[in-house]
Structure 1
Amino acid sequence: MSPVEFVRDLLNPDLGFLWKALAIAVMSSLICGVVGCYVVLRGMAFIGDAVAHAVFPGLAVAFVIGGNLIVGGIVAGVVTAVLVAVCSQNRRLKEDSVIGVFFVAAFALGIVIISRAPGYAGSLQDFLFGSITGIPDEDLYVVAGTGLAVLAALFALHKELVTISLDRETARALGLRVFWLDLALYVLVTLAVVISVQTIGNILVLALLITPAATARLLTDRLGAMMLLSPAIGGLAALIGLYVSWSWDFPTGGTIVLVLTACFLLVWTARSAKPRVATLARS
């Protein structure tokens, strides 16, 4: 399928789900691209995967009772984030240990809850791998509103989040409330994950958080530039991934992840080859 035909399908009123899928995919990628910069800066890639597990019981409860999946995921993720932030204050345990306990338990709870619903196997597959073509109209507004709220919070807390990411002890010495900033970051990551689950699924959502930010980190040492490049890379990958998946009938979430990975490998290869070329030129 040519790009022109893809655009024609996007504008086709009978294929309204396609432009909604594109809108959700791009919005999710942009938000995760920005949030992911803080995750990569802090070296906490594990948190993205863990949060994806944490929101699962909320998604399951919302599905069973016929509620909004995004709202259910947010509630479950925030509750779990609060538990992790509180228990992480005990310095006898490292943060990643506490995360491992609570987020895996949350995922297990989600599996138990959804197993009580009839026909749960198909629903479980949608949760794990995404269901971008079945997104209701109201979710567009929920994702857009949640995304704007996340960006506003990150803008307001930018300096503080960067400070605790680079040096927590210095942050405490400066009088910053590290606990509340940790909690805020957990909640913001949770919100970014929840709005992305329908796009890419519970299992693959880590790619939206980490891969664009990691690719941007290879391209620049400046945080400001990184925070512009990361969402741009994520949004472009979402567009290309949806185009490829629609043209060749591939799974959308998996295709977007593969496009992101290809971008990362291309940039890594180019950056790795540059010193070698310079060395050869000097010899």
Structure 2
Amino acid sequence: MEFLFAPFEVSFVLRALIAGVLAAVLCGCIGTWVVLRGLAFFGDAMSHGMLPGVAIASILGGHLMFGAAASALVMAAGITWVSRESKLSQDVSIGLLFVGMLAVGVVIVSHSQSFAVDLTSFLFGDVLGVRAEDLVVLAIAACLGVLACVVLRRPFLALAFDERKAATLGLRPGWAHIAMLVLTAMAVVASFQVVGTILVFGLLIGPPATAYLLFVRIGAIMIAASAIGAAATFLGLLVSWHAETSAGATIALLTVLAFFAVLVAKRVKSALRYFLRNENHYQ
């Protein structure tokens, strides 16, 4: 028991656990729609596209989350505008904004020696450096995210499975899609400090994808995804404490390992069921 809970008697580790659980709930709910809608590439692009705003905020001495939010809004608006004006597919729009925003961020970082030191924590997270005010922001974002997923459940569900039917039902799929992009941006911005901009993609996609293998109902997938993310946070912090590894990277790695563990278990179960069915048939 001491092995399991001793690390969380330290205040900054306990704050990290709370932050990770809040991020897991936020990403679990919103990530469910990201997986169902097929917006994984957008989430990945968003996590990298925040670099310019964070770099500028760091240079000016502002709050990094405000800079990340500004970049996320610019990117979401840019993707929507390019898709509408050029008639190109959304993947092309995301790719263009992804490369453009990331390139701008790298240019800014290359001219700023002061930001180079903070780049590692930006990319890979600094969950053990989470402050009390960061917990407040994460808690507000989690509440807003869960509330939005509940209120917009019907238009999101129609959009995820049949966009034309959503339009026929008067559910405004265009606005629903924009709302989904904004929520995805909010999840990435609010959670990047926990696991970093590169690894936040794992927290947003890993637990919902794993839950999707286990459940069919949307509500069950969201609850399971939140629980899987919270468990990965607890185990990740525990492993990183005892093994002296990167906390953010360990958390993200566990979410991916959980997916493959469930996938392999389902495959083995299916193979065993097939074998037993054939054995009974021949008997």
Q: Tell me, yes or no, if structure 1 residue 113 matches structure 2 residue 111.
A: no
What CA distance in whole angstroms lies between the structure 2 residues aligned with 1:258 and 1:153? 28
Q: Alpha-carbon deviation of 1:224? A: 2.0
Supply the distance in 2 between the matched residues of 1:154 and 1:61 (Cα, whole angstroms): 31
Partner of 1:8: 6
Task: Give 1:142 deviation, angstroms.
Answer: 1.1
For residue 175 of structure 1, give the secondary structure of its aligned residue in structure 2: coil
Matches within 5 A, 1:60-75: 60-75=55-70
Deviations 1:34-72 (A, max 9, x none): 111101111221111011022222211221112111122
> Hey, what's the Cα distance between the residues in 2 that align with 1:135 and 1:64?
20
Any unmatched runs of 5+ in structure 2? none
TM-score by length of 1: 0.93
Distance 1:145 1:44, change over 3 A: same
Report the counterpart of residue 131 of structure 2 in structure 1: 136
Residue 98 (structure 1) aligns with: 93
Q: Is the 8 A contact 2:29 2:145 kept in 1?
A: no
CA contact (8 A) 2:163 2:173 kept: yes
Residue in structure 2 matched with residue 86 of structure 1 by the alignment: 81
Match of 1:225 in 2: 220
Using the TM superposition, give the Cα deviation of residue 272 of structure 1 relative to its aligned residue in structure 2, in angstroms: 0.6
Matches within 5 A, 1:152-191: 152-191=147-186
User: Which residue of 257, 261, 274 corresponds with 2:269?
Assistant: 274
Deviation of the 1:16 alpha carbon: 2.3
Tell me if structure 2 keeps the 8 A contact 1:85–1:182: no
- SS of corresponding position for 1:89: helix
| Residues paired across the two proteins, number | 278
- Kept in 1: contact 2:59–2:115 (CA 8 A): no
Deviations 1:198-233 (A, max 9, x none): 111111111111111111111112222111111111
Cα distance in 2 between the residues matched to 1:220 and 1:182: 24
Secondary structure of residue in 1 paired with 2:136: helix
- Is contact 1:85-1:179 (8 Å) kept? no
Unaligned runs of 5+ in 1: none
In 2, Cα distance between equivalents of 1:61 and 1:140 = 23
For the pair 1:253 / 2:248, whether they are aligned, the reply is: yes
Q: Over the residues paired in the alignment, what is the CA RMSD in angstroms? A: 1.6
Contact 1:129 1:200 in 2 (8 A): yes
Q: Equivalent residue of 1:93, what SS?
A: coil
3-state DSSP class of the match of 1:88?
A: helix
1:6 Cα shift?
5.0
2 CA distance for matches of 1:91 and 1:110?
25
Tell me the distance in 1 between the aligned counterparts of 2:211 and 2:55: 34
Contact 1:89/1:179 (<8 A) preserved: no
| TM-score (ref. length: structure 2) | 0.93
- Alpha-carbon contact 2:48-2:197 (below 8 Å) kept: yes
Letter matched to residue 178 of structure 1: P
SS in 2 for 1:133: helix
In the alignment, does 2:196 pair up with 1:198?
Answer: no
- C-alpha distance in structure 2 between counterparts of 1:136 and 1:228, whole Å: 26
Q: Offset at 1:179?
A: 2.2
Partner amino acid, structure 2, of 1:200: V
8 Å Cα contact 2:24/2:203 also seen in 1: yes
Bigger Cα displacement from structure 2, 120-129 vs 157-166: 120-129
Name 2:208's counterpart in structure 1.
213
| Residue in 2 that maps onto 1:151 | 146
For residues 194 and 86 of structure 2, the distance between their equivalents in structure 1, rounded to whole angstroms, comes to 37
Query: 8 Å contact 2:194–2:248 — kept in the other structure?
Result: yes
Q: Which runs of 4+ in 1 moved over 6 A?
A: none
Distance in 1 separating the partners of 2:256 and 2:55? 29
| Cα distance between partner residues in 2 of 1:91 and 1:118 | 38
